[in-house]
Amino acid sequence: MRNYKNIPYYILGSGAISELSGLLEKRRIKNNSKVIFMIDSFFKGKRIEKKLLSKNDDILLFVSTEKELYAEYVDELSDRIKNICRGELPVAIVGMGGGTTMDLAKCVSILLTNSGKAEDYQGWDLVKNPGIFKIGIPTISGTGAETSRTGIFTGMQVKSGINSDYSIFDQIILDTQFLKTVPLNKFIFTAMDCYLHDIELLKGNNNGITKALAEESLSLIREIFLKKMDYEKLMIASYLGGNAMATADGGHICHPVSYGVSLVLGIRHGLSVCLAFNALANYYPKEIREFKKILKKFNITLPKNVTANCTEEQFDRMVEAVLKNEKPLRNSFGENWQKIFTKNKVKEILKRI
């Protein structure tokens, strides 16, 4: 039977970031113990260094999150860190930013202690050695990447993740003051990501604890969407949603479809899951009504005919990428999933996006 793992430590509250240097001090065994800070480039020029860096030897890297995360970027950054550290591994990695930065920090931590390229570990439980000790500081909530066991990125063939117990952060700091910097449209799409994760986890065939976590996360997100915004609730909903994902045996249909769209068209995750869900009304008849109500409340009009100009070859690549997500699709349709969720059916859905 599977032995489920969730995140071991968290600190929650406004101003929690001030605990970081104390946490890092405990990891520094020698004078030259380095910490790598991977910070979303959004914070460039915002004097975040002063708050974070406690030792001269520490290395601060601003990471680009404008685009989706690609395998090449994970490899490039891991190689850069190896070169800087010259054989002596850092004692910790701190990732601070949105879901992409969280995923990047998780993947780099793995690649510093496991040989090969990021794509070698795309899949379930392929990582052999524990990664570098890692601390996650989410500055936008919803993706659940701060607590999930997956570091997602786009490779040559597939958008998928390193999915391993070793990719779970060792510590996270949930400081609600960061969420106040997030623009409303960005917040809606990341919160929607959380909402859709929860819906998929509840539809899928998952254990009771996963479902209870997803249920509570969904109820908090609903309060935020349909009543009023509350940063701490959003952070908690994301935390719970990520923990639910970490213990899930599989998701559902919406995320696999969105991965196909993102792989070929490079559409950002928050938007592509919304586009996918919008085309899956047959599979989520009850949930789609609430989804549309939320979009209307926040005046969001999803782009139409997104795949209208795609070539047959692009559709084939998308279909193939969707169907590579065997685990969630088996979870949705059972052992005979390939006979039910056929290539034609997937193509039909993609054409509706």
* Contact footprint for Zn ion (CB under 5 A): 193
Tokens describing residue 153: 């990125």
Q: Which of 104, 162, 92, 91 is nearest to 134 (CA)?
A: 92
CA distances (Å), origin 340, targets 71, 88, 248, 309, 344: 31, 51, 22, 27, 10
Q: How far apart are CA 201 and CA 210, in angstroms?
A: 8
Nearer to Zn ion, 77 or 145 (CB): 145
Handedness of CA 93, 139, 197, 66 (dihedral sign): negative
Ramachandran assignment for 262, one of left (phi > 0), alpha (psi -120 to 50 degrees), beta (any other) = alpha
Q: How far is the CB of 184 from Zn ion (least distance, A)?
A: 19
Shortest distance, CB of residue 328 to Zn ion, whole angstroms? 12
Q: What are phi and psi of 213, to 5 degrees?
A: -65, -45
Q: Please, what is the minimum distance in Å from the beta carbon of residue 262 to Zn ion? A: 10
Nearest distance from residue 352's CB to Zn ion, in Å?
A: 20
Contact 135, 173 (CB under 8 A): yes
Output 95 or 328, the one with its CB closest to Zn ion.
Answer: 328
| Rg of the chain in Å (alpha carbons) | 20
Q: Which is nearer to Zn ion, 68 or 193 (CB)?
A: 193
Our CB check for Zn ion shows the closer of 112 and 172 to be: 172
Residues 212-250 as b/e (b if ≥16 CB within 10 A, e otherwise) read ebbebbbebbeebbeeeeebebbbbbbbbbbbbbbbbbb
- In whole angstroms, the minimum distance from the beta carbon of 343 to Zn ion comes to 24
Among residues 49 and 70, whose Cβ is nearest to Zn ion?
Answer: 70
Residue placing its CB nearer to Zn ion in the complex, 269 or 330? 269
Nearer Cβ to Zn ion, position 52 or 194?
194
Smallest separation, CB 33 to Zn ion (Å):
35
* Cβ closest to Zn ion, residue 95 vs residue 251: 251
- Contact in structure between 263 and 158 (CB atoms under 8 Å): yes
Helix (H), strand (E) at residue 278:
helix 269-278
- Minimum CB separation of residue 195 from Zn ion in Å reads 10
Of 155 and 161, nearer to Zn ion (C-beta) is 161
Shortest Cβ contact with Zn ion: which residue?
Answer: 193
Residue 136, both tokens: 């996650």
Distance CA 204, CA 214 (A): 11
- For 210, half-sphere exposure in the C-beta direction (CA atoms, 13 angstrom radius) is 22
In whole angstroms, the minimum distance from the beta carbon of 144 to Zn ion comes to: 7
Q: How far is the CB of 279 from Zn ion (least distance, A)?
A: 16
